A and B are shown apart, each in its own frame.
Chain A
Amino acid sequence: MNAHRMPRAGWVVVAAGVLAIGWGLWQLVVVAPSATRPVAAAAWLAGALIVHDGVIAPVAVLVGLLLVRSLTPRSRRLVAVLAFVAVSLLVLALPGLLRP
């Protein structure tokens, strides 16, 4: 897979990135925990990951599988493009529709 390894200087960027992550974590956990509620925030972060990787993506894969098996490549591509646009608009509308 990795035909090219990261250039050595890349580790400097990675280190800077880790510092930025640390700053974010510090803001989330230490600075004002009564406002950030670290446990709830962590649950939302983990929840977002689990729901996407465990539900949304597998469903998308299954739908893709159905399309691959039932349509010709040309029509599959057309359907996929249209479905993508429709789902994007649905995602956008959903909060307004579901909000209590």
Chain B
Amino acid sequence: MIELPSARAVLHPVDEPFPPGAHDTRSAVTIGRLLGIAVAVAFVTGMISHLHQHPLGWLDLPSRPVWGYRVTQGLHVIAGIAAIPLLLAKLWVVYRHLFVWPPVRDAAHAVERLLLVPLVAGMLFEVTSGLLNVVRWYPWPFFFPRVHYGVAWMVVGSLAAHLAFKWWAVCGRIPEPVAAQPVLGDEPLASPGAAGAAGAAGAPDADRRALLIGALASTAAVTLATAGQTVPALHAISALKPRDPLAGPQGLAVNRTASAAGVRSAALDPGWQLTLAAGDRVTRFTLADLVAMPQQVARLPLACVEGWSAEAEWTGVPLRALLSAAGVPADAHLRAVSLERNWLYANSPLNPAQAWDPLTLLALRLDGEPLDLDHGYPLRLIGPNRPGVHQTKWLERIEVA
């Protein structure tokens, strides 16, 4: 090993505040495992959300369980937020490796370090962009979900490589360190933990324990502070929840108002009709027609892509009643079309399972009252296991896609 006293002397203060216990391989593994779980949950639930919104031709997601999307997307934001303190802890544990000397030992080490760039940058980006998105702040010129999606793949790819490179440590086979593992030189530093390793035996353990307690306490704190936007039992506790799902007209949050959508007059027009179009067979229903049909009541959650969700009681006509009356083929993929124009989410897809699910309603009422204009009056779609952006409001047409 090469002794580089100058670099070491310059960077020595960087090592001093790193008591060895909190900055050794064992701590990296302990925190890493927790972070790995959070990232895995966020990735899987994120991909489920992606599949809901970008259905693959050959894979129709089921319309059950009713609470499916509520749970997966709620978990996504919970796991993503839990990853924030864990990521900060992880990076704090390993920060000193940034200054490792020599910077590159061999080709394998070069690959390993190069692949840390998408890992660290990608994770920092995912949590930052996700957090800004859930408060609906978009200080960037790109379309959030697309970039968040691409970076998610970069993160899991580089994480897989990271785990391979750290394989033995990840498995718990950690080379027993003498108190400190100096990265800036080759002898233990004269920091309290290192110098006093023999005298103050247990100090590294105490620092490791403090780090773990700090990470767990922070993770618990951020989770309790926000999960109430999804978990009813925590609703009152979560003081920092990005959204209160119960604050809005009829006690239910609204993301897009009728004014924002520019549909007020069209939605209030007494001549409004719902059009059901299957090829050249077109059926029209007035509001009175729909009200006169047998109504069904269902408790279904409204579950936003932003993670907040709340259950409500919806009353309306099961979509399948209209489909069978109009003779729509059972294997057709449908599209629900809003009165709103020129908005990315103005239409939503319905696969056959969703279209024919007895709980997929064309809702006229919410909690017993006629729908508020902001909840989609005169008619909105509400179905089980669907993202909120697909619960199309101010319906105008249902058509075969």
Contact = CB atoms under 8 A, between A and B. Distances in A.
Interface of A: 1-7, 10-11, 13-14, 16-28, 32, 35-37, 40-41, 44-46, 48-49, 51-53, 56-57, 60-62, 64-65, 67-68, 73, 77-78, 80-81, 84-85, 87-89, 91-93, 95-96, 99-100
Contacts of B343: none
B240 A92 contact: yes
Nearest to A32: B146
Contacts of A68: 16-17, 19, 191-192
Given A61-B14, A81-B213, A85-B221, 7 more contacts: A20-B157, A24-B154, A56-B88, A64-B18, A91-B84, A95-B137, A99-B137
22 contacts: A2-B105, A14-B165, A17-B157, A17-B160, A27-B146, A35-B143, A35-B146, A37-B142, A44-B128, A45-B121, A52-B120, A52-B124, A68-B17, A68-B191, A73-B206, A77-B206, A80-B210, A87-B88, A88-B85, A91-B85, A92-B81, A100-B137
- In order of increasing CB-CB distance, the 10 nearest A-B pairs are A20-B157, A24-B153, A64-B17, A3-B175, A17-B161, A28-B150, A48-B124, A4-B168, A77-B210, A27-B150
Interface string B306-348: 0000000000000000000000000000000000000000000
A6 B168 CA distance: 7
B124 A89 contact: no
A11 B108 CA distance: 10
Contacts of A6: 108, 164-165, 167
Contacts of B85: 84, 88, 91
Nearest to A35: B143
Interface stretch (B34-42, B90-98, B245-253): B90-98
A74 to B, nearest CB: 8
A24 B152 contact: yes
A24 B148 CA distance: 10
B146 A92 contact: no
B283 interface: no
B140 interface: yes
B158 A21 contact: yes
A80 B214 contact: yes
B217 A85 contact: yes
Interface in B65-102: 81, 84-85, 88-89, 91-92, 95, 98, 100
B165 A10 contact: yes
A21 B221 contact: no
B159 A17 contact: yes
From DSSP, what is the main secondary structure of chain B's interface residues? helix
Contacts of B201: none
Interface residues of B, number: 83
Contacts of B206: 73, 77
B172 to A, nearest CB: 12
B167 A65 contact: no
Contacts of A99: 135-137
Interface stretch (B110-118, B260-268, B272-280, B370-378): B110-118
Nearest to A83: B214
B197 interface: no
Contacts of B175: 3-4
B131 interface: yes
Contacts of A49: 117, 120-121, 124
Nearest to B22: A80
Contacts of A25: 150, 154
Nearest to B162: A17
Contact of A13 (B89, B153, B160, B213): B160
Contacts of B46: none
